[in-house]
Amino acid sequence: MASLLAQCGVAACGLSYMESKLAPKGKGNLQYYAVTPTILIGMGFWVLTFGMKVGAARRKYKELAEKDGETEVAERYDLPNLYAQGTSKHARAFNCVQRAHQQIFETFPQVILSSLVAAWNFPLSTALATTLFCAGRVAFSNGYAAGEGDASQRYSSKLAKYMWHGIVVNTFLGVLSCAKMIMGDEN
């Protein structure tokens, strides 16, 4: 954890410094700012479509559980249960799909807030970090959902770990952007 924080802190400071020295200033900055909300809107749409996988998985694993003779299938798999009760292979497989979706909501609000704040002063660096988050998040969630009950599959793609880098870099960039605004030095 300390290593991740240090790496991301150095990356955020380096990116923000380079952007403040090299990136164009002025009226065009709003166009650069708009890149990050565009990425976030696209990610929001992906989250919506990923949520539909949960409903399909609920039906699929409920049917497989019934076919395999599991008992009390409706009580364990049906809504309002968020997760399927039990430890059968079908319950574990469904729960991984559900957890992949649920975990998005534990991180995405932080990414949205920090990205929108950070992009005010560092639009190019923030767009890069947000893209890194999105690529990692998609890889993480798809690996988790496809793991058939093996939660370690969430890191089956090398991209998955970069979700955390994107979150932390954006958090640092957001803090730096706020500091610039407080000091009256924003773009």
Q: What is the mean pLDDT of the chain?
A: 90
DSSP track, 83-99? S--S-SHHHHHHHHHHH
Statement: residue 175 has pLDDT above 80:
yes
What residue spans define the domains of the chain? 28-182
**The pLDDT of residue 25:** 67
**pLDDT tens column, 57-108:** 999 999 999 999 888 889 999 999 999 988 899 999 999 999 999 999 999 9
Statement: residue 186 has pLDDT above 60:
no
Nearest alpha carbon to residue 89 among 150, 156, 154: 150
**Residues near 62 by beta carbon (within 8 Å), at least 6 away in sequence:** 73, 74, 77, 78, 84, 90, 94
How far apart, in whole angstroms, are the C-alpha atoms of residue 128 and residue 95?
A: 32
Per the rule left: phi > 0, alpha: psi between -120 and 50, beta: everything else, 147 is alpha
**The pLDDT of residue 57:** 93
For 28-182, CATH number out of 3.40.309.10, 1.20.120.550, 1.10.1740.10, 3.40.640.10 equals 1.20.120.550
pTM of the predicted model as reported, rounded to 2 decimal places: 0.88
Averaged pLDDT, 109-128: 94
**Higher model confidence: residue 184 or residue 48?**
48
**pLDDT tens column, 20-71:** 777 766 555 778 889 999 999 999 999 999 999 999 999 999 999 999 988 8
Statement: residue 19 has pLDDT above 90:
no
**The pLDDT of residue 82:** 92
Averaged pLDDT, 105-134: 94
Q: Which two tokens stand for residue 112?
A: 């949205």
**The pLDDT of residue 159:** 95
Statement: residue 168 has pLDDT above 80:
yes
